Amino acid sequence: VPPSGSGPRAGAAEPRTTLAQEIMRLTVLFSRGRIAEAERLARNLRQRAPRHPVPCAVLADIARARGNLVEAANLYAVAYQLDPKNELYRIRHEETARAVARRQHPDPVAQRRAQSVAPLVAASVVLLACVYLVLAKESPILEHLPPVSTWTLGTAVMSFLSGIAIGASLLVGGYLDRFQSSLTTTVGRLSPNLALASVAVVNFWLAALLYVALGLSQGAFNRSTSRLVGAVGAATLFLSLAAAVSDPISGWQVLLWAGNLVYVGAVCGWMVADALADA
């Protein structure tokens, strides 16, 4: 005969184990960019375990990525109330609360100026880079490497500088979220944005294709990433057209590979502008 009370103790331990496994599964799904599945599981877990902070934090990250800042701020606040020792929840709540305040009570003149001037600055830098590619007469630096045999030093430098201007300008204009908040999720995993950046180092168009595929299949579109990818794609197209007009540089080679440098530059510009905003 089993000891009195042994059955209830075993039955009580099983739900805790199941919940821990489900929370782990949630963090894995979210870190792998399977947003639709992660969102469904997080909402389910929030109903089953309303005192657990992780589902709230995941839903807050998803809402923030989609630009739903009010919902994100409220969810971060709930997560922090459930886990007051987690400083990341507090920081994310304060960031989104400030963003909500700026959106609801903006300085109209400053906001319009930033939103109009920032894209103009980025476009001007890309235009100057295009003019340079058309007018400059340089010798190829990698002529023995077929994929980039016509590339010059100026091609690489102009591509990277265009990216820096894009990333910094979009952040200053309020078109991008904070860079630091885009690095990691509130569950301590690396953001899918970092995986996208690592693929973009190999080939930007492949990274963009994967991003669109994940966005359509998993609802994983991120407002900041979408804007950055769109701006980098447009800049790459303009640079390739300028290269096609120039004499020594192949427009096709620039179209295929310049996006790598433009995207890396954009991430660097985003990062530096975000750091200076805190200075």
Identity at 51, one-letter amino acid code:
R
pLDDT (0 to 100) of residue 108:
59
Give yes or no for a contact between 224 and 161, defined as CB atoms under 8 angstroms apart.
Answer: no
Secondary structure of residue 249 in the 3-state scheme: coil
Q: Which domains, from first to last, does the chain contain?
A: 6-104 (1.25.40.10), 108-278 (no CATH)
Q: What angle do CA 17, 23, 24 make, to 5 degrees?
A: 90
Per-residue CA distances from 48 to 56, 62, 76, 252 (Å): 12, 20, 19, 54
Cα torsion through 64, 178, 268, 166, rounded to 10: 80
- How many angstroms separate the CA atoms of 129 and 170, rounded? 18
Residue 5 C-alpha from the chain's centroid: 51
Give yes or no for a contact between 52 and 45, defined as CB atoms under 8 angstroms apart.
Answer: yes
pLDDT (0 to 100) of residue 6:
47
pLDDT (0 to 100) of residue 11:
46
Find, among 94, 102, 261, 91, the residue nearest to 183 by Cα. 91
- Structure confidence by residue, pLDDT tens digits, 119-159: 899 999 999 999 999 998 888 888 888 888 999 999 999 99
What's the predicted TM-score (pTM) here?
0.77
pLDDT (0 to 100) of residue 261:
96
pLDDT in tens, the chain (279 residues): 445 444 444 444 445 558 888 999 998 888 777 888 999 999 999 999 899 999 999 999 989 888 888 899 999 999 999 999 888 889 888 888 887 876 665 555 556 666 678 889 999 999 999 999 999 888 888 888 888 899 999 999 999 999 999 999 998 888 888 787 676 677 766 666 677 788 888 999 999 998 898 888 877 788 888 999 999 999 999 999 999 998 788 999 999 999 999 999 999 999 898 888 765
- How many angstroms separate the CA atoms of 19 and 212, rounded? 32
pLDDT (0 to 100) of residue 1:
47
Residue 30 C-alpha from the chain's centroid: 14
**64 CB-side CA count, 13 A:** 31
**16 CB-side CA count, 13 A:** 5
- How many angstroms separate the CA atoms of 46 and 139, rounded? 61
